[in-house]
């Protein structure tokens, strides 16, 4: 055990920002988010708005995209095998 309170000083060498562009939202929502980012204009807002608009132009509306096919990775449990009454 330590005999007292200890301190630690760290120097931040860099920051990597990451923006999540949700392509599953309707086009009106994504366009509105890009507009509000451009209006706010702080830090990386303008490049993020540009990227959102670029993706919107490239991908289109979420209804036009084909739905992904999800295959189950396991067999469902049967009641008699799982012990569930």
Tally the domains of the chain.
1
Inside any domain, residue 36: yes
Cα distance between residue 84 and residue 78, in whole Å: 9
Model pTM? 0.50
Q: In terms of residue numbers, what domain contains 60?
A: 19-64
What tens digit of pLDDT does each residue of 9-68 get? 999 999 887 767 777 788 888 899 999 999 999 988 999 899 999 988 887 765 555 566
Please report whether residue 77 resides in a domain.
no
The verdict on residue 8 lying in a domain is no
CA dist 80 to 67, 74, 76, 77, 83, Å?
34, 17, 12, 9, 6
């Amino acid at each position: 055990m330590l005999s007292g309170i200890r301190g630690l000083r760290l120097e931040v060498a860099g920051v990597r920002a990451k923006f999540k562009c949700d392509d599953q939202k309707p086009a009106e929502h994504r366009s509105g988010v890009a507009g509000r980012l451009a209006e706010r204009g702080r830090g990386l807002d303008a490049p993020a708005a540009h990227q959102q608009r670029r993706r919107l132009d490239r991908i289109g509306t979420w209804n036009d995209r084909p739905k992904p096919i999800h295959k189950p990775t396991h067999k469902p449990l049967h009641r008699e095998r799982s012990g569930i009454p």
